[in-house]
A and B are shown apart, each in its own frame.
Chain A
Amino acid sequence: MNMRALSLPDSLVETLSRLTMRFNFLKGIKFGRAAVISVPTFWLALFFFIPFVVVFKISLAESEIAIPPYSSLWEWDAEEFYLEIKLTLGNYLYIFEDALYVEAYWSSAKIAAVSTLIALLVGFPMAYLIARSDPNKRTLLLALVVLPFWTSFLLRVYAWMGLLKKNGVVNEILMGLGITDSPIQMIQTDFAVYLGIVYTYLPFMILPLYTALEKLDGTLLEAAEDLGAKPYQTFFLVTLPLAIPGIIAGCLLVFIPAVGEFVIPALLGASDTLMIGRVLWDEFFLNRDWPMASAVAIVMLVILVLPIMLVRRNQDKETV
């Protein structure tokens, strides 16, 4: 079981190194290996690590009405040979003092978790069917799963607004069929937020699940049946346990972006749908409190990274 092939950076490195294996002249040359690994490393450093450090730095400053709108962390007086460092943890403390932030984190995690669960329940049968379908059709089916990405994410969310609004397509059809007399309030509800998140992130659930299920050896299922397992027992005792790497990968890929989601709750959700992405936006653009917004972002990152690291550590223990 290759449990390690889960996390994105890892699988990226793996894919790249597999690609280079095909070019035999690189084989056995240390330089080639280093060059290959350096590309994603450089990418991560440039677009993740450095911005992260900048944000972390800002989160330790104080808000000021200036350009940029935060205090600098140190002042160097060259004449007196005097270095003054000013760091504040006030922003972080404030997050835990004001119930708004805690509630926003909690509600984001809840919405993301429920959406992830729904995506898993919807995505698993789809992935299973694709993995078990005729190999010639699989490519087409997978292409269909990815097809929505050909349209801008924002446009698709707007499309949902059109579908769900009071005199939108869905309500028109429901009333036309006589299922309901008056339009149902769908937009600006939690329902619309769940729908939007599940719809948007479903492919990220299906693809890793498909990879795990496609690798599943059919004779294992036959062996289980042969030993007296009924189909549902075969599913829960063989198929599901062997799909766990895919399930974990899919859930992480849906949960993580869903927690920080801003556009979907803003456009489809009610004004009281509290999500941390929205709080972050308000802090940054309305309050212009960059240090506070940075602290909110850092805390969110820690909240997301910790469980992933725990999962990874468990897996490492299992594989040893």
Chain B
Amino acid sequence: MALSQVKSQESVMTSTKELPLWKQDGAVPFLRIEGVTKKFGEFTAVDNVSLDIYENELFCLLGGSGSGKSTLLRMLAGFEEPTSGRILIDGVDMAGMEPWKRPVNMMFQSYALFPHLNVFENIAFGLKREGVNKKEVKERVMKMLDLVQLSHLAKRKPNQLSGGQRQRVALARSLIKRPKLLLLDEPLGALDKKLREETQFELMNIQEELGVTFVVVTHDQEEAMTLATRIGVMNNGVVVQTDEPHDVYEYPNSKFVAEFIGSVNMFEGRVIEDEVDSVTIASKEAGCQLFVNHGINCSPDQKVNVAVRPEKIRITSEKPAQTANCVYGYVEDYAYMGNMSVYKVRLYSGKEVRVTQPNANRKSMERFTWDQEVYLSWDEESSVVLTS
């Protein structure tokens, strides 16, 4: 995961030479979603969402089921009309524009391949509707089949293909018209783990090669982390945070985001000292003072949560030198997972803390066992204070 993250960020860096578009002042977004709301009767599926998505981005809408991410995607494709708000693609207002007129193509979660047409005909479907002549249709479809490595299966019907092959046909079909904007609804959802990983990289390569702007909807945080240039986390119809994968993970802006993405330990506490660039928090749950080296907007004595990722916590049998950010408990359970070990530590406050420790060395690593008393500690820059 880490490797691909670096890769995706590199690709953005090299293509823009400098700052990515979303960090440049005055950059014109390719897709602009302005205060879009969608109601189904009394139910608000998408609630006043505004997003700017830039050219060549691979933007992930991440959220659980019912978060409104799919409805948002369907509004981009034109299958639903927003109740209010505007959608602009390349500066053109999409209001009232039928799906077949939009410069957008979609890859469906179920792939939606036409069962009565073979692979070639499925991919050629969109081109034929454009009135492209037969020779060019053939050339472009063959080239696309090459790209997704399915040239040998052109004559097969969809029901004669494996899941991975179908997925590639669906991708090819949605790319053949060279859309400015490609929408992908859970593109990797139906694939097994190994195939997913391969396809993720393939998808990124294709995106780089063709220079299409992707909007991907997914409920899978790992998928979002790997693929995305930026992630928009959705909950109850609202986009709660929009950031690069690294920032979403390291600096979540709310309890929801911290808990939704990755696993996290959350300590409840009250602010006792609020400096410009640091906060000290008293936490009964932790049983010690928590010190965080970033400032926050808060009132004195406000109730806050301090979030620490399991992999940022050190586990030791001897008491570390620091007094803040250091808690004490016993190992309740642990699991050896090969590349890392997971410990569940019960603090004497009753709080359970999850710690992961990479098994970097074969022998020299200290191991802990059930009921062993341990100290947990972390650096002051490793935790995040969450006010909401």
Contacts and interface: CB of A to CB of B under 8 A. Distances in A.
Interface of A: 1, 217, 219-220, 222-230, 233, 237-238, 241-242
Contact of B114 (A225, A230, A238): A238
Contacts of B159: 1
Given A226-B77, A229-B100, A241-B116, 8 more contacts: A217-B112, A223-B113, A224-B125, A226-B78, A226-B104, A227-B173, A228-B177, A229-B129
A219 B100 contact: no
B112 A1 contact: no
Query: Which among B112, B113, B115 has the highest number of chain A CB atoms within 10 Å?
Result: B112
A5 to B, nearest CB: 15
Contacts of B78: 225-226
A132 B110 CA distance: 20
Contacts, number: 59
A220 B114 contact: yes
B125 to A, nearest CB: 5
A248 to B, nearest CB: 14
A93 to B, nearest CB: 46
Nearest to B105: A226
B106 A226 contact: yes
Contacts of B130: 228
Nearest to A229: B129
Contact of B177 (A1, A222, A227): A227
Contacts of A229: 100, 125, 129
Contacts of B129: 227-229, 233
A224 B112 CA distance: 9
A227 B105 contact: yes
Contacts of A219: 108, 110, 112
B99 interface: yes
B112 A220 contact: yes
B120 to A, nearest CB: 14
Contact of B108 (A223, A228, A242): A223
Contacts of B77: 222, 226
Interface SS of chain A: helix, strand, loop or mixed? helix
A242 B159 CA distance: 14
B126 interface: yes
The 5 closest A-B pairs by CB, nearest first: A227-B126, A228-B129, A223-B112, A219-B112, A225-B99
Q: Which of A1, A219, A226 has the most CB of B within 10 A?
A: A226
A230 B112 contact: no
B273 interface: no
Interface in B153-182: 159, 173-174, 177
Contacts of A227: 100, 105, 125-126, 129, 173, 177
Interface in B107-133: 108, 110, 112-116, 125-126, 129-130
B370 interface: no
A242 B116 contact: yes
Interface residues of B, number: 24
Contacts of B114: 220, 223-224, 238
Given A219-B108, A222-B99, A225-B98, A242 B125 contact: no
Contacts of A222: 77, 79, 99, 106, 108, 112
Nearest to B183: A226
Contact of A225 (B100, B116, B173, B174): B100
From B100, B104, B110, B113, name the one whose CB has the most chain A CB atoms within 10 angstroms.
Answer: B100
A221 to B, nearest CB: 9
Nearest to B170: A223
Question: Which of B98, B129, B130: most chain A Cβ within 10 A?
Answer: B129
A228 B126 CA distance: 6
Contacts of B113: 223
Contacts of B110: 217, 219
A1 B116 CA distance: 9
A1 B160 CA distance: 12
Contacts of B98: 225
A96 to B, nearest CB: 41
Interface string B195-215: 000000000000000000000
30 contacts: A217-B112, A219-B110, A219-B112, A220-B112, A222-B77, A222-B79, A222-B99, A222-B108, A222-B112, A223-B106, A223-B108, A223-B112, A224-B125, A225-B78, A225-B98, A225-B99, A226-B78, A226-B104, A226-B106, A226-B174, A227-B105, A227-B129, A228-B126, A228-B130, A228-B177, A229-B100, A229-B125, A229-B129, A230-B100, A241-B116
Contacts of A241: 116
Contacts of A217: 110, 112
Contacts of A220: 112, 114-115
Interface in B75-117: 77-79, 98-100, 104-106, 108, 110, 112-116
A290 B177 CA distance: 68
Nearest to A240: B116
Contacts of A224: 114, 125
A219 B115 CA distance: 12
Nearest to A223: B112
Contacts of A225: 78-79, 98-100
Given A217-B110, A228-B129, A228-B177, A1 B115 contact: yes
A103 to B, nearest CB: 40
A217 B173 CA distance: 18
A233 B79 CA distance: 17
A310 B126 CA distance: 34
A242 B78 CA distance: 24
A176 B366 CA distance: 103
A238 B116 CA distance: 8
A217 B165 CA distance: 20
Nearest to A228: B129
Contacts of A237: 125
Nearest to B121: A237
A103 B93 CA distance: 65
Contacts of A238: 114
Contacts of A242: 115-116
